Structure 1
Amino acid sequence: MAQAARPRNGPWALLDTDGRRHPLQNACATLALGLGLLALITAYWHDLHLVSSWAGLVGVLVGGWGQMISVTTAERFVLVVGLGTSALGFFLGMAHGGLFGGLVG
């Protein structure tokens, strides 16, 4: 039972619950959550609709891809939270002016 006493260190210890490293899946989860928070926070201001809509769109795409390749339940949890915040920020950004509001046409 020596493997049970091994400490789990590092920033990804909470996401790697199976004891193996998953750098791509962890990066997708972290990026989706970060973009979702950025989209949701910038959606508060109407003038930042370009940032919120683009960050939300990229966050939804990265989160969706991360869901397909995720391995552990902890990664999926972070991905679902990131997808939700990205989608909400994207929708609010679209309501405030959209992806190209004022730049095209």
Structure 2
Amino acid sequence: MSRTSGRGRSGPSRFRLNSDGRRHPLENVLSVGTVLCGLVAFVAGLFPAAHSVASFLGVLGFFGGLYSQYVSATTPERALNIVGIVASFVGVAFGIRNGGFLP
């Protein structure tokens, strides 16, 4: 009499981007890149001297995130895309408020 079923391990679940069991390397890279651009743009937007970095990375993360959202295959990828798009938008807004795109 076995207490475990063949469906998986018991314990804490891990966050996986490939929740459908198939590999999506391009979509995963785009999702993680969107989040990284968004976080860097957001943090850089908090410092007035880094307004150019915040502006450029914010625009890159925003439009890259929109494309990533368009080609995403799983729900976790879409969740990361939304976080990255919002962070990028806020970062570019801070960057423009602090001085815009040019140094």
C-alpha distance in 2 between matches for 1:17 and 1:90: 31
C-alpha distance in 2 between matches for 1:23 and 1:49: 32
Counterpart of 1:31, as a letter, is G
Matched, 1:21 2:17: no
Relative to the length of structure 1, the TM-score reads 0.83
C-alpha distance in 2 between matches for 1:86 and 1:24: 20
Relative to the length of structure 2, the TM-score reads 0.85
1:60-101 CA distance string (max 9 Å, x none): 01100000000101100000000000000011101111112x
Matched, 1:87 2:92: no
Matched, 1:63 2:65: yes
Counterpart of 1:41, as a letter, is V
SS at match of 1:19: coil
Which of 92, 97, 100 is residue 98 of structure 1 equivalent to? 100
Aligned equivalent of 1:10: none
C-alpha distance in 2 between matches for 1:31 and 1:90: 16
C-alpha deviation, 1:19, in angstroms: 0.2
Counterpart of 1:35, as a letter, is C
Q: Runs of 5+ in structure 1 lacking a partner? A: 7-12
Deviant stretches of 4+, over 3 Å: none
C-alpha distance in 2 between matches for 1:5 and 1:63: 32
What's the C-alpha RMSD, in Å, of the aligned pairs?
1.6
Counterpart of 2:25, as a letter, is P
SS at match of 1:98: coil
C-alpha distance in 1 between matches for 2:58 and 2:8: 41
Aligned equivalent of 1:75: 77
Which of 21, 36, 39 is residue 38 of structure 2 equivalent to? 36
